[in-house]
């Protein structure tokens, strides 16, 4: 990569954490976007130095936009939007609609994500095959990681404000949720 790298963001999506890098050549008008080190957009000789670049990130094809704004003279500000929201706002909302667990399983780091709206479960970028069932106190969604039986239990907290509590069980042992 050249010396025109002006911004780097790490974005946590259901299929993993993706690194977005942006190069902006203010003398040449060049714009280059890399996702996880792979070039996805290149524009050379852009006469307009401000504007937007929209692209998609990850296996979930999430919409992302980099906004390029002039702040003064030849200084520029770069902001990233995910699904039309600022990255900060998106990440705040994301914690409401998903749960994430980080664990080491047989020497392999695993990132398990539950999408609460669809009940889809992802592990290290792969959507898992699941089987759901109703139980006395809520629901259980079963899946396997390697030779391990996993289950995400969903039970009511009994408090309207707290809603449903999701718990990951690995071979019957509870795993703490990551922040």
Has residue 125 been placed in a domain? yes
Size (the chain), residues: 179
Query: Across residues 68-72, what is the average pLDDT?
Result: 91
pLDDT at 61: 92
Residue after which a domain boundary falls, among 83, 117, 151:
83
Residue 171 is assigned to a structural domain of this protein: yes
Query: Mind listing the pLDDT tens digit for each residue in 26-65?
Result: 888 899 999 999 999 999 988 888 999 999 999 889 999 9
Does residue 108 belong to any structural domain of this protein?
A: yes
How many folded domains does the chain comprise?
2
pLDDT (0 to 100) of residue 28: 83
pLDDT attached to residue 51? 93
Alpha carbons 60 and 50: distance in angstroms, whole number? 28
In this prediction, residue 2 has a pLDDT band, given cuts at 50, 70 and 90, of low
Residue 130's pLDDT band (boundaries 50, 70, 90)? Answer: very high
Residues 14 and 65 in one domain: yes
**Rounded CA separation 144/147 (Å):** 7
88 within some domain: no
CATH number at residue 135: 2.40.128.180
Residue range 90-118, pLDDT digits in tens? 999 988 899 999 999 999 999 999 999 89
Query: Are 79 and 20 in the same domain?
Result: yes
Verify that 47 and 112 share a domain, yes or no: no
Shared-domain flag, residues 129 and 166: yes
Single pTM value for the model:
0.83
3-state secondary structure the chain: CCCCEEEEEEEEECCEEEEEEEEECCCCCCEEEEECCEEEEEECCCCCCCEEEEEEECCCCEEEEEEEEEEECCEEEEEEEECCEEHHHHHHHHHHHEEEEEEEECCEEEEEEEECCCCEEEECCEECCCEEEEECCEEEEEEEECCEEEEEEEEECCCCCCCEEEEEEECCEEECCCC
The string of pLDDT tens digits covering residues 156-168 is: 888 877 788 999 9
Domain boundary residue among 83, 104, 120?
A: 83
**Which residue, 106, 123, 108, 102, is CA-closest to 175?**
102
**Residue-number span of the structural domain to which 13 is assigned:** 5-83
């Amino acid at each position: 990569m050249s010396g025109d790298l002006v911004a780097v963001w790490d974005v946590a999506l259901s299929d993993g954490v993706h690194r977005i890098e942006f190069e902006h050549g203010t003398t040449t008008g060049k714009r280059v976007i890399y996702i996880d080190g792979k070039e996805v957009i290149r524009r050379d000789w852009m006469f307009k130095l401000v504007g937007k670049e929209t692209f998609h990130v990850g296996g979930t094809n999430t919409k992302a936009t980099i906004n390029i704004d002039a702040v003064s003279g030849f200084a520029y500000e770069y902001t990233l939007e995910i699904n039309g929201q600022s990255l900060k706002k998106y990440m705040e909302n994301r914690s409401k609609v998903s749960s994430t667990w980080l664990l080491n399983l047989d020497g392999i780091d695993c990132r398990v994500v539950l999408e609460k709206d669809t009940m889809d479960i992802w592990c290290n970028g792969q959507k898992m095959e699941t089987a759901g069932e109703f139980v006395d106190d809520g629901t259980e969604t079963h899946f396997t990681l390697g030779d391990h039986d996993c289950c995400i239990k969903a039970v009511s907290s009994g408090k309207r404000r707290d809603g449903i509590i999701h718990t990951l069980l690995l071979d019957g042992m509870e795993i703490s949720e990551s922040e």
